[in-house]
Structure 1
C-alpha cells in the first residue's frame, strides 16, 4: 500500500464522524457529502506527517467548510434566521428500512440510533447564526474543546463559549425532547396513522399534545407548505395529507419510526414524529417532490416496503 492509499484508508475511518458533523451543521445530506469530499481534498493537498491528531484536524476542517457554506446561505437569503416567523423548511431526513422485518429496533442498532438527531432539533439549529451553530454542534454534540473551535469562528475561547451557551438556550427552549421508549413511540405513530386513515377525530386528538406543532415543507408547490400549532389544527392538516397518498410504509426517519407515503410508485411525503409521554408533540413532513426524488428512488421504496 502506497502513501496515497494509506492516507485514503485513514480518511475513510473518519468519514462517518465527519458526515455526522456536516449533516448536523447543514441539515442537507447532499451538502454534507460535498463538505466531506472537500475535507478529503484539503487533506490530500496537506503534508499529513505534520498532522499530530488526524481526527481533530479533520473535524476542524469540515467545520470550517460547513461554516463557509452556512455563511454563503445567509448572504443569499436562504438561511431562515427569523425565529419570530415560523419556518416551514424541513431538513433532509435520513431514511432507512425498519430493522428485523418490521420488528422493534434490535439491540445491535441501539448505539447507532441513539446517535441520531431528530428533524425537530435540526429545524431549531437552522434558526441559529452560523457561528452559534458551529460552536454548539462541535462542542455539545462532538465534545470538541472551545480552544479548538475558537480559531474557526475567529473569536476568543470565552466568546466561543458564549456562542454555544446562547445556542444551547435556544435549543432547549424550542426543540422538544423525545421520550426514550422506542416501542411506545412506534405504537403511538401506528395508532395516529390508523386514526388519520379512518378519520377518527377523537382518537387523533387523544394522541396529540394540546400544543403539538405540524410543519410541512412542500417546496415550490403552492399550498403544501404550512405551519400549524394546536391539536385541532394539526388533526385537520394530518387528515388532509393522509388522503393524498394511496400507500404508506413505516420506516426509520432519523432513527425514529416514521411514515413514508407513496403515490403512483413515487415518494409523496416523509413524516417524522416526536413522541413524549405517550403523545405526539411535533410532526415534520417533507413533501418537496424534487428533494424526495433525490432521497428515495424506486429501489429504496421497494426496500422500505419489504421491511415494513
Structure 2
C-alpha cells in the first residue's frame, strides 16, 4: 500500500513538474513574442512610411500569430523570425496597393514625420502617452530625405534593402519574404543602394543644420526675403502634403526665390496665435507650427553645407497625430 502511494505521489509530482516546465516555456515564448513589437514597429514604419499603417501591419501580424493553434506555434523555432517574415510580407502587399491609392491622393504624398522620442505621444492609447516599446528608433534610415528616396523604390526593392541593409537579414531570409531567389534579392538591394547613393550628399554636422534652421526661422519671422533667399539653394524645392484636408500649395515650389516669396506670403497670413518652434523632425533639426497649442504644420529640411536644398511641409492632420500633446 505504501509503495502504491509513493508511486502515485511520484506520478503526480512528475506531472506537476511537466506542467510547470510547459508553463515556463510558454511564458518565455510569450515574452519573446511581445518583445518583438518594437522591432516590428521600427521595420514596418521604414517599409510603409506612416505610423498608422505600421501599427496596423504589426497588429495583423500578431493576429495571425495568435490565430494559430498552440501546437502550430510550438513548431516554430524562432518566433521573432516568423513575425518579421509575416510583417514584411504584409508590408510588401500594402506597398503594392499604396501606389494605386496614391493616384487619387490630393497633392503630393510625404512620409509621416516623427517627433523626438521624448515627445512621442501614441494615438493608439487613450489619454496617456504611448508605450515606450512602440517608439520608433530614430537614425539615418528614418531621415526624411532617406524615406523620400525609399518611397520612390519599387516595393520589392524597398523590402529587400530595408531587410538586408538596415536590419541585416541574410538574402536567404529576404528571398523567403519576397518569393524571389536570393540572387534576385541581392540585385534588388543593389539597385536600391544605387538610388540611395545617387540622392546622398556629403553629411552636414547636426549643429550646422540646427543653425541654418534657426536662421531660416528668424528670417521668416522677420519677413526678410533677402535673408531667406540667402539660406536657400537656388534650385531648392518645397513640397507640401495636406491630403486635401488642410490649406496648402498642391504643386511643388521650385527655386529659392520662388520659395522665399511663398514663405513671405505664408508669414503675412500667420495668425498671432501661431507659434513657430524649433523641434527635432525624424532625427534632424526642423520646425513646428503650433496654433493654440495644437501642432498644425511640421517642416523637415534637407540641408547641404549652409544651404537648404529641400523643404517638406506636412499639413495633413492624419499624419500629425504623433505630435499631439496630451
Shift of 1:208: 1.9
User: Is 1:296 aligned with 2:323?
Assistant: yes
What's 1:19 paired with?
41
User: Is 1:267 aligned with 2:295?
Assistant: yes
Aligned match for 2:209, one of 185, 199, 211? 185
SS in 1 for 2:210: helix
Pairing 1:57-68 to 2, within 5 Å after superposition: 57-68=82-93
* Cα gap change, 1:268 to 1:8, in 2 (>3 Å): same
What's 2:148 paired with?
123
Aligned match for 2:242, one of 205, 215, 218? 218
Q: In terms of Rg, which structure is larger?
A: 2
User: Is 1:278 aligned with 2:300?
Assistant: no
Query: Structure 2 regions of 5+ residues with no counterpart?
Result: 1-22, 120-136
Aligned match for 1:95, one of 97, 115, 124? 115
Query: Structure 1 regions of 5+ residues with no counterpart?
Result: 81-86, 100-111, 300-308
Shift of 1:223: 4.7
Aligned residues: 278
Please give the TM-score of this superposition, normalised by the length of structure 2: 0.76
Across the aligned residues of Structure 1 and Structure 2, the Cα RMSD in angstroms comes to 2.6
Please give the TM-score of this superposition, normalised by the length of structure 1: 0.80
* Cα gap change, 1:289 to 1:113, in 2 (>3 Å): closer
Whole-angstrom CA distance in 2 between matches of 1:43 and 1:177: 42
* Cα gap change, 1:297 to 1:98, in 2 (>3 Å): closer
Shift of 1:267: 2.0
Shift of 1:98: 7.5
Shift of 1:97: 7.2
User: Is 1:237 aligned with 2:262?
Assistant: yes
* Cα gap change, 1:180 to 1:51, in 2 (>3 Å): farther
* Cα gap change, 1:19 to 1:278, in 2 (>3 Å): same
Shift of 1:229: 2.6
What's 1:107 paired with?
none
